[in-house]
């Protein structure tokens, strides 16, 4: 991303409703599977940015070894300071970890980036996960929603739930659960990004007025309560998928 976007991320990821919703959904939907089934091996935040979600992982898994990785050196420094965890500089196209070391890999809004090669990244996730390890992915939805926001954060692709499932299954991951989210607010997202003139080459990572932020938090908390009960939302601005490393011999 542009340096200005990393600066905004560092400043706002603990304060903006969207990050609160994303982090909550990722942790809520994956915690029981990883904690109860994946033993005590380490967990990786692959593409940790400036460390907001990595710090949330540390709070959720206080007895696990956690690592962060990001392609930007300054972001790594900020993530290490924010999370008090080891963070290394590197690309998900070539993870600098040994085979089968991780119980789980989280990848939040990274596969969509222009510098990422999907095939290389999926092979690296598979290589570094233990047998029956978990891959938890969040990606932006719908290619036709590409906009100035995506240009600012260097997104070159967006996904459908079916397309993400096909990608995961092509690399012998078994999808256990997937859903769109940010459905209630999606019409507003569509209008602001596709029909209203916007700031060129700037993202939607901004500090919202408190009443707006509070409303967005309430709406996304309601969505999380539905997802916690096993619902799958039929559309939305983002997609979460939880998959387990399958046996290629059985594919």
What is the spatial distance between Cα 112 and Cα 118, in angstroms, rounded to a whole number?
8
How many Cβ atoms sit within 10 Å of the Cβ of residue 40? 10
Identify the pLDDT of residue 36.
Answer: 65
What domains can be seen in the chain, in order of their start residue? 3-246 (3.40.50.150)
**Taking residues 134-160, what's their average pLDDT?**
96
Q: How confident is the model at residue 126 (pLDDT cuts 50, 70, 90)?
A: very high
Q: How confident is the model at residue 4 (pLDDT cuts 50, 70, 90)?
A: confident
Q: How confident is the model at residue 199 (pLDDT cuts 50, 70, 90)?
A: low
pLDDT digits (tens, 9 = 90+) for 70-100: 999 999 999 999 999 999 999 999 999 999 9
Asked whether the predicted pLDDT for residue 65 surpasses 50, the reply is yes
Identify the pLDDT of residue 1.
Answer: 76
Sign of CA dihedral 31, 37, 40, 41: negative
The encoded tokens of residue 57 equal 């992982």
- The pTM of the full predicted model, rounded to 2 decimals, is 0.94
Q: What residues contact residue 136 under an 8 Å CB cut-off, 6+ apart?
A: 26, 29, 30, 34, 104, 105, 106, 107, 240, 241, 242, 243
CA angle 181, 208, 1 (to 5 degrees): 70
Identify the pLDDT of residue 194.
Answer: 87
Identify the pLDDT of residue 2.
Answer: 76
Asked whether the predicted pLDDT for residue 250 surpasses 50, the reply is no
Q: Could you tell me which of 120, 129, 117, 105 has the C-alpha nearest to residue 53?
A: 105
**Taking residues 126-135, what's their average pLDDT?**
96
* 233 DSSP assignment: B
The rounded mean pLDDT for the chain is 93
Alpha helices in 95-160 (DSSP H): 118-128, 148-152
Start-to-end CA distance of the chain, whole Å, equals 36
Which residues partner with 138 through β-bridges? 108, 240
State which H helix or E strand residue 169 sits in: helix 161-170
Nearest-10 crossing angle of helices 17-37, 52-60: 40
Torsion of CA 73, 6, 49, 12, to 10 degrees: 140
Contact 180, 238 (CB under 8 A): yes
**Taking residues 166-171, what's their average pLDDT?**
98
At residue 47, the 3 state secondary structure works out as coil
State which H helix or E strand residue 173 sits in: strand 173-181
pLDDT digits (tens, 9 = 90+) for 24-40: 999 999 988 887 666 68
Identify the pLDDT of residue 123.
Answer: 98
Asked whether the predicted pLDDT for residue 251 surpasses 80, the reply is no
Identify the pLDDT of residue 249.
Answer: 42
Q: Could you tell me which of 168, 97, 99, 86 has the C-alpha nearest to residue 135?
A: 168
């Amino acid at each position: 991303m542009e340096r200005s976007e990393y600066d905004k991320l560092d400043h706002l990821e603990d304060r903006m409703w969207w990050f609160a919703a994303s982090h909550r959904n990722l942790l809520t939907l994956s915690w029981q599977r990883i904690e109860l089934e994946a033993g005590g091996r380490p967990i990786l935040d692959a593409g940790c940015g400036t460390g907001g979600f990595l710090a949330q992982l540390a709070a959720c898994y206080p007895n696990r070894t956690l690592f962060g990785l990001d392609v930007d050196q300054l972001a790594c420094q900020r993530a290490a300071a924010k999370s008090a965890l080891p963070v290394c500089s590197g690309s998900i196209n070539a993870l600098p970890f040994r085979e089968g070391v991780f119980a789980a890999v989280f990848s939040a809004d990274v596969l969509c980036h222009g510098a990422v090669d999907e095939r290389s990244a999926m092979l690296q996730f598979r290589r570094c996960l233990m047998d029956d390890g978990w891959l938890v992915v969040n990606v932006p939805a719908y290619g036709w929603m590409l906009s100035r926001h995506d240009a600012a954060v260097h997104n070159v692709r967006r996904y459908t739930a079916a397309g993400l499932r096909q990608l995961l299954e092509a690399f012998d991951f078994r999808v256990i659960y997937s859903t769109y989210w940010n459905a209630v607010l999606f019409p507003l997202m569509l209008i602001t990004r596709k029909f209203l003139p916007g700031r060129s080459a700037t993202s939607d990572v901004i500090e919202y007025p408190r009443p707006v932020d509070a409303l967005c938090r309430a709406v996304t908390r309601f969505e999380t309560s539905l997802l916690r009960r096993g619902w799958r939302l039929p559309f939305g601005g983002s997609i979460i998928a939880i998959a387990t490393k399958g046996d290629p011999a059985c594919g």
